[in-house]
């Protein structure tokens, strides 16, 4: 009995000692990771700041759902992304940014609020094409957290893998999405007349891809709601393009004319047949101007004339733009053109031989009888 009593006291003393030790651990934690990305500082900052990219930034074990919602401010800028994973509501929220140097966020990932989540973007060795990203987590530690950190090796062991995956996802995606693209000049393309449904949009250059994708989803849902069928990709007709503002129509062709729903922003319309010169871009939309230049230069070299009253438009592949990877996106540039005039070429290789001149027959002289 005495031995059992001593063992019990030893266990109690050990537990008390552990409790005291855990209680005296730091009340704060700090974990950081860094990596160098071969892209300019502003571009890398914009990519991380845009919460629409976070589905591909977060590790798949944390972001494992397609059910995502976004919160936007009055200017239309996305400020928060929410999703549910393993029955837990998680979110990323932009709190404060300083030009393109740093970004502070509130992130809920593992059922706790990581309010001290921050990014720093610095030009590496004064090279404008290289950016060092440093991500940090700082927070308060509860007694329960201290027990968990003690058992699992500390905050570094808990968060390090998450930060490692995030910064490497950023590096891989930014370097691929902003460098890899393919442009193919197609040539003449005949647009056939068709019925369409369309909606009017206003975007900034940075938000246009996201806004068009949302408009496409809206139009697809509308077509289904009226028992219609989409018959092609999304067409973008520009109303006005400025440095900070783009106004345009997004339309989807339908197999038949649909009924107009009253009080809806979506309109029923149709397009006419038109001959265009087409060039295709596979990659990020930031390269669309290169695609436009390719189409325009090629049509001039080929001897086509543009239709002055028929403006340039784009066609976006509806399925491709829903991909997370920009290298899978497909955009078409279309310039309406006149058909080439048919030139009649005469064959000059044949020379007609002159007909032989037949000498007139001599008249018989009258003979005296």
Q: What is the pLDDT of residues 154-192, one digit of tens each?
A: 566 677 888 999 999 999 999 988 888 999 999 999 999
The residues of the chain that CATH labels 3.30.530.20 are 25-177
Q: What is the pLDDT of residue 369?
A: 42
Q: What is the pLDDT of residue 304?
A: 93
**Mean residue pLDDT across the chain:** 82
Instruction: Locate 246 and state its tokens.
Output: 């783009």
Q: What is the pLDDT of residue 38?
A: 92
Highest mean pLDDT among 19-28, 78-87, 358-367: 78-87
The residues of the chain that CATH labels 3.20.80.10 are 184-336
Superfamily covering domain 25-177: START domain (3.30.530.20)
φ and ψ of 214, to 5 deg: -70, -40
DSSP string, 72-139: E-TTS-EEEEEEEETTEEEEEEEEEEETTTEEEEEEE-SSSEEEEEEEEEEEETTEEEEEEEEEEEEE
* Torsion over CA: 190, 194, 196, 202 (sign): positive
Using CA atoms, how far residue 286 sits from 109, 245, 333, in Å, is 31, 15, 13
Q: What is the pLDDT of residue 367?
A: 46
Using CA atoms, how far residue 263 sits from 224, 248, 267, in Å, is 18, 20, 10
Mean pLDDT over 47-70 rounds to 85
The topology (CATH level 3) of 184-336 is Multidrug-efflux Transporter 1 Regulator Bmrr; Chain A (3.20.80)
Q: What is the pLDDT of residue 248?
A: 97
- Looking at the chain, the whole-number percentage of residues with pLDDT higher than 70 is 77
φ and ψ of 71, to 5 deg: -110, 130
Q: What is the pLDDT of residue 252?
A: 96
Highest mean pLDDT among 64-68, 92-96, 152-156, 336-340: 336-340
DSSP string, 277-345: EEEEEEE-GGGHHHHHHHHHHHHHHTT--B-TTS--EEEE-TTGGGSS-GGG-EEEEEEEBPPPPPPP-
């Amino acid at each position: 009995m005495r031995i059992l009593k001593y063992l019990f006291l030893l266990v109690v003393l050990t537990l008390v000692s552990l409790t005291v030790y855990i209680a005296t651990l730091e009340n704060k934690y700090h974990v950081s990771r860094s990596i160098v990305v071969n892209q300019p500082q502003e571009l890398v900052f914009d990519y991380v700041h845009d919460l629409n990219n976070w589905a591909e930034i977060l590790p798949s074990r944390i972001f494992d759902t397609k059910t995502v919602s976004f919160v936007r401010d009055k200017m239309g800028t996305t400020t928060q992304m929410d999703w549910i994973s393993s029955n837990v509501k998680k979110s990323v929220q932009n709190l404060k940014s300083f030009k393109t140097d740093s970004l502070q966020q509130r992130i809920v990932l593992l059922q706790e609020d990581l309010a001290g989540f921050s990014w720093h973007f610095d030009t590496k060795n004064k090279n404008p094409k290289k950016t060092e990203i440093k991500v940090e987590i700082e927070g308060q530690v509860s007694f329960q957290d201290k027990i968990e950190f003690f058992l699992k090796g500390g905050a570094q062991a808990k968060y390090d893998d998450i930060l490692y995956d995030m910064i490497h996802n950023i590096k891989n995606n930014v370097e691929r999405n902003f460098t890899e693209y393919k442009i193919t000049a197609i040539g003449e393309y005949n647009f056939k007349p068709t019925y369409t449904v369309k909606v009017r949009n206003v975007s900034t250059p940075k938000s246009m891809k996201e806004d068009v994708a949302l408009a496409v989803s809206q139009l697809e849902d509308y077509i289904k709601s009226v028992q219609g069928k989409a018959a092609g990709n999304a067409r973008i007709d520009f109303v006005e393009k400025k440095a900070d503002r783009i106004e345009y129509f997004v339309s989807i062709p339908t197999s038949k004319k649909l009924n107009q729903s009253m009080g809806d922003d979506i309109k029923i319309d149709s397009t006419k047949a038109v001959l265009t010169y087409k060039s295709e871009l596979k990659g990020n939309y930031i390269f669309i101007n290169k695609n436009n230049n390719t189409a325009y230069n090629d049509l001039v070299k080929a001897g086509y004339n543009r239709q002055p009253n028929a403006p340039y438009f784009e066609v976006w592949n509806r399925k491709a733009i829903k991909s997370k990877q920009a290298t899978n996106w497909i955009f078409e540039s279309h310039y309406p053109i006149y058909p080439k005039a048919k030139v009649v070429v005469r064959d000059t290789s044949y020379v007609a031989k002159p007909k032989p001149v037949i000498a007139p027959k001599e008249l018989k002289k009258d003979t005296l009888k």
